[in-house]
Amino acid sequence: MIKKLFVANRGEIAVRIIRACKELEIPVVIGYSDADRFSLPTFLADERICIGPANPKESYLNIPSIISAIEITGADAVHPGYGFLSENIQFVEICNATKIIFIGPTPENIRVMGDKSLAKKIAKKVNVPVIPGYEESDFKKAFYHAKKIGFPIMIKSAAGGGGRGMRKVYNKEEFEKGWHTCQQEAKISFGDGSLYIEKFIERPRHVEIQVLCDNKGNTYVFPERDCSVQRRHQKLIEESPSPFVDRKLRKKLQKYAKRIVKYIKYRNAGTVEFLIDQDRKPYFIEMNTRIQVEHPITECVTGIDLVKNQIKIADNLKLDFAQRDIKINYHSIECRINAEDPENNFMPFPGRIKKLILPTGPGIRIDTHIYEGYYVSPYYDSLIMKLISYGKTRQEAIERMKRALEEIVIEGIKTTIPFYKQIFSNPLFLSGRYYVGMVDKMVSEEHQREKII
């Protein structure tokens, strides 16, 4: 049994984990950086300990510091949340070697799914379709493969994601320029210049399947989340179920996800991601071996607490639901509210929150770590809040989200709230016919109008 859990993260996900621990009656410790000394998680946790300076490399990514903090506080388990060390194989192996329970998958799970090329080989092996593509570090060989696949082509880092080291190219000239740019970005961001080239699918949907796998070989698959509303490959809005996915396609996606996780003997929470073309043909693209930012909408739709069940699985406890209990009870939508200035190319906007009024009422959930007087630090990701709505229908969830976006007040910093109001008045989004690339097109058209004016 877990006696004390250490949270190796910050912000809203740290708050989320602390709340799950409170409900499971597990004492919880937060490791914080100097910049997060007065953050909400430090007030909510049972214990707190400083793990280093503001720079993430010296605190939230500092493995020796975190392991020392876990040992000093007497914690016997660690939850990494998402980002930071959540998919760091070395950290998981050290935890295993020092008898610290890691709330997440095995090192081998992370290794095989963290390698995009290997992950796609596994998908092919279990008869899950993938987009035609190749991993390559040599330009001439890559260009040969590109001609074989046919333009347009997507070039992206083989070692990482998040939109870094990624370009869409339509011809030889663009390919050569895009290749060298992506390789440089990949080296800087991930320390690996290997690139993956694949066929570019026009106007795809980005849809993912949440899974939970226990230690007894049971795999639970959840209704899909649609993550197609993105800007520069960063997710902005997620919803479940997808307005594009019908029952037949849902069953197919769940079947494919189950095949992959069964084959690799996956454990704990994970997400299998697909691109779907306009003919509703799905292609496996990757698996995230951690809890996702957008997990709350799955919780709202099904009523199943994913974070608590992550902890239960790691603690070898029996889960209190079966696959037949996983049903679509509601429709849910999530907006990622960032401290950014939409009118200045979405530049991060750190600063002190002078006034904060949060929306409430039927069908609204807020996951956040901010409060009135809180200082949004420039050292970390700009996500400050996840605004979630849910209702019996998609229309009800949309109306509740629009109400919440009108009610919310955040003064002292600029946020992406005005931009979300634009999206929720966009006919293409409201119709459910949106696609990956829709937001980038919106932003481009807005800039063109500004130039004309």
Crossing angle (nearest 10°) for helices 139-149 and 172-190: 120
Candidates 31, 4, 7, 10; CA nearest to 18 is: 7
Token pair listed for 249: 């396609």
Candidates 83, 74, 63; CA nearest to 26 is: 74
Q: Which residues have CB under 8 Å from 111's CB, separation 6+?
A: 89
Neighbours of 155 (CB within 10 A): 27
SS3 438: helix
Distance between CA atoms of 340 and 356, rounded to whole angstroms? 16
Alpha-carbon torsion, ordered 136, 228, 329, 251, to 10 deg: -40
Distance between CA atoms of 391 and 400, rounded to whole angstroms? 8
* 290 is annotated as an active-site residue: yes
Tell me the CA distances in angstroms from 203 to 224, 251, 347, one per residue in order: 19, 22, 26
The answer to whether 147 touches 157, Cβ cutoff 8 Å, is no
State the catalytic residue, choosing from 48, 290, 336, 400: 290
Residues belonging to the active site: 290
